[in-house]
Amino acid sequence: MADTPPREPTHPPTEESTGSVRASRSGHPERLVVGVLAKHWTPGKSKTRLAATIGAAKAAELSHAFLETTLQRLATLSAGRHDLVLAYSPATRREEFEELAAVRRGEWRCVPQSQGTLGERMRAFFANHPTAILLGSDSPHLPAESVQSAMAWLGESGDARRFVIGPSDDGGYWLIGVRGRTPPIFDAMPWSEATLYATTLKRLEAAGWREGHDYRAVDSWYDIDTSDDLARLRAMIGGGDDALRELGARIDRLVGLSLPSDPPV
């Protein structure tokens, strides 16, 4: 889950604006929220590592396509059982995000991200949605079984707190979910570094969270950040669902069947 520029001049989402459902007010069990944290697909500011090989304009178009595919696939997996929230940045792009959400299946509610660092914005999201799964849009090919497993884990009754995480190949994570008390994993973390996932687990264990009881991990996956990642995605799309096949066709139209290699580091 990639970071996005901090300190946008937006207002934090509130319980009223996001429509989160709390059992203490409604008298009914709280619905799971499926959230996506996304930033605008502005050329030169989105998918910058991918832009190094395919150009800023095409990288921005792919960023838009990744988000659209993510929204469609998550709405399909939710099948109307969960609340869908798209937390966007910057706030000035509200109409474009609402237009994008409107063309996808499912009832996506669009709310601006809160101010601050990635950790502060994620913590604010879970404060407003105490039973939620949160993803980015850099893994449009997200593994359906892992998402469903995360949903099931948070939905089980009995325990007062639950946390689920999906590690990514780069040492971060592509999915996190919280039910109940928010874990101490959002302050002074090594964001965008290869030690993020390991540091997150150490924080959980130091705070007394027990693996298999309070938290668990789902399958590892990978973000699409580079041309090599894009080629890897394109190779596996053929056996995917309709949304992934549509994404594959869009990739082919934008960059062709032969993708350039990443520049030397």
- Residues 34 and 147: their CA atoms lie apart, in Å, by 10
Specify the pTM.
0.86
pLDDT digits (tens, 9 = 90+) for 198-242: 999 999 999 999 999 999 999 999 999 999 999 999 988 877 789
10 occurs within a structural domain: no
Q: Domain count of the chain?
A: 1
pLDDT in tens, the chain (265 residues): 655 444 333 333 333 333 333 343 444 457 899 999 999 999 999 999 999 999 999 999 999 999 999 999 999 999 889 999 999 999 999 999 999 988 666 689 999 999 999 999 999 999 999 899 999 999 999 999 999 999 999 987 666 788 999 999 999 999 999 998 889 999 999 998 999 999 999 999 999 999 999 999 999 999 999 999 999 999 888 777 899 999 999 999 998 866 666 655 5
With residue 216 as reference, give the H or E element that holds it: strand 215-217
97 occurs within a structural domain: yes
With residue 119 as reference, give the H or E element that holds it: helix 118-128
**CATH assignment of the domain containing 93:** 3.90.550.10
Q: Which two tokens stand for residue 163?
A: 């946390």
Residue 228: Cβ within 10 Å count: 15
With residue 175 as reference, give the H or E element that holds it: strand 173-179
**DSSP character string of 83-108:** EEEEEEE-GGGHHHHHHHHHTSSS-E
2 occurs within a structural domain: no
